[in-house]
Structure 1
């Protein structure tokens, strides 16, 4: 993989491109069932309301379902892009508010096995995303799998979704511990999902932040919270995102608030974005 990463950097350096404004956010969780994908989909919709152009890469190998959340069905995935059968435009699905969706599935893992000629094709295709979007959001799998960790350390920023449940907090801390070792310089932003009150959310954040400061010598950025809302479950069953089916729901109002903070982060980014080439370079180097 060292040769592949070197090849990628060589190819990227030969192209005279302007510095891209596109940034890569990885949304993750320590365990399944905390509402990560629903949050990702609705965050994208809320960001679109702020004028952001957003593409979601479905990076969950075991349960790729971003397209289903939009009520769509993927005919092609990133695997067809990696094989050279299809272009990025041919596999890209378009959801509500112009949100782009790159169906991932098992094809994501094959990024680690690309030959040089196919790597050049992938760079050219994904490079075109920088003209289509401002933010690439990766919906990672849950847990500590090596593909998940690789995505997180390659991203510009990480949003960690958890809930107040003790098991969710334990798993979130485990993920943070791994990230501290593997990707210590990646900014991590916490969202507490399925809360009954703001006080519950703040207490959850403080418990996790205290542990991170004491044992990991690090810190977390508190990004916000999302209310436990029955409309979320209804929207999932209807295969229509919360922001479309129940835009006035309490949960979506929270996500709109969080999206405003995220949009602000990227108006004045905390560090320079690497764009598609920077993301791929770090991702391939990590395999």
Structure 2
């Protein structure tokens, strides 16, 4: 893209962004932006995102998934999609966000991030402005936006988690999953000021087992950190139907919608979809990306 064309696009995007920011007044219903993350890999994070998205879509919600897992971007695989473009094509102004997003058979829009999200700290002001204005267009296309982040405490994971309205942590009863989930929440609270988390416990045999995981994490937060709240939103039981769907790179909401796991996911999704946005949430896409850029610098 030549320099003159790039300058004209920056000026156009600046005007668009200002206009859209002015439009995001209290009367406009904005999408809820939810990060789904984990302290370690292998806890079923991406599969949960996909199944919750399907459940919410069937409830009439407009859902967008942003795949921000730089190391293992694979949300498109479980939807059997092969996106031709990703966020890099938006950054370079080759494509708009709408042109880059793929759409599943369920009507869910998916933005493949891949390694494009790894270099946000290297973007110039024009590229940042372009991304801001592009992301703001999602405000009229979604009720809920899931940001599927990576696992662990890398900077990429943390600044995406901290930028969202809500941060859902996925854990299992494995000691390492519990320890790593606590470590991630500790870093987010101390370095990014995050004070509120939600917990989904995956692959447990009973409610009692799930509550033990919640008690361990909540107890550690109460003991070692101040003013950090962990809300238990539900558990997903160990279910062979879910395992079969994972092995086939599919979704249990499609292959076994009446299974125990599918019913549990549906209940959790309904709770998330119906819960109000917290009063301290800024709830718009411009703010979300602005926070991401701020954290990435």
TM-score, normalising length: structure 1:
0.92
Supply the distance in 2 between the matched residues of 1:245 and 1:86 (Cα, whole angstroms): 34
Query: 1:115 and 2:124 equivalent?
Result: yes
User: 1:13: Cα distance to partner?
Assistant: 4.4
Stretches of structure 1 lacking an aligned partner (at least 5 in a row): 1-7
Query: 1:155 and 2:161 equivalent?
Result: no
Residue pair 2:201, 2:213 contacting (<8 A) in 1 also: yes
Larger Cα-atom Rg: 2
Supply the distance in 2 between the matched residues of 1:210 and 1:82 (Cα, whole angstroms): 43
User: 1:183: Cα distance to partner?
Assistant: 3.0
Pairs aligned (count): 279
Residue pair 1:56, 1:99 contacting (<8 A) in 2 also: yes
- Equivalent residues in 2 for 1:4-19, closer than 5 Å: 12-13=17-18, 15=20, 16-19=22-25
Tell me the equivalent position of 1:220.
230
Cα–Cα, structure 1 residues 186 and 79, in superposed 2: closer, same or farther, change >3 Å? farther
Tell me the equivalent position of 1:97.
106
Moved more, 142-151 or 230-239: 230-239
Supply the distance in 2 between the matched residues of 1:104 and 1:90 (Cα, whole angstroms): 14
- Equivalent residues in 2 for 1:31-46, closer than 5 Å: 31-46=40-55
User: 1:186: Cα distance to partner?
Assistant: 4.7
Stretches of structure 2 lacking an aligned partner (at least 5 in a row): 1-12
Residue pair 1:153, 1:186 contacting (<8 A) in 2 also: no
Query: Alignment RMSD, CA only?
Result: 1.9
- Equivalent residues in 2 for 1:1-287, closer than 5 Å: 12-13=17-18, 15=20, 16-19=22-25, 20-217=29-226, 218-266=228-276, 269-287=278-296
Find the residue that maps to 2:275 and give its secondary structure. Answer: helix
TM-score, normalising length: structure 2:
0.89
Q: Deviation digits for residues 218-239 of structure 1, max 9, x if unmatched? A: 2200111000111222112222
User: 1:14: Cα distance to partner?
Assistant: 5.2
Moved more, 99-108 or 210-219: 210-219
Tell me the equivalent position of 2:5.
none
User: 1:270: Cα distance to partner?
Assistant: 4.1
Q: Deviation digits for residues 39-72 of structure 1, max 9, x if unmatched? A: 0111111111222111000011111000001111
Cα–Cα, structure 1 residues 99 and 113, in superposed 2: closer, same or farther, change >3 Å? same
User: 1:12: Cα distance to partner?
Assistant: 4.3
Supply the distance in 1 between the matched residues of 2:193 and 2:105 (Cα, whole angstroms): 35
Q: Deviation digits for residues 82-132 of structure 1, max 9, x if unmatched? A: 111111111111113211100011001232222222223222221111111
Find the residue that maps to 1:167 and give its secondary structure. Answer: helix
Which one scores higher on RCO, CA 8 angstroms, separation ≥ 6? Answer: 1
Q: Deviation digits for residues 5-40 of structure 1, max 9, x if unmatched? A: xxx999844543133511210000000000000001
Find the residue that maps to 1:243 and give its secondary structure. Answer: helix
Residue pair 1:55, 1:137 contacting (<8 A) in 2 also: yes
Supply the distance in 1 between the matched residues of 2:174 and 2:124 (Cα, whole angstroms): 44
Find the residue that maps to 1:279 and give its secondary structure. Answer: helix
Residue pair 2:132, 2:290 contacting (<8 A) in 1 also: no
Residue pair 1:21, 1:273 contacting (<8 A) in 2 also: no
Residue pair 1:53, 1:132 contacting (<8 A) in 2 also: yes
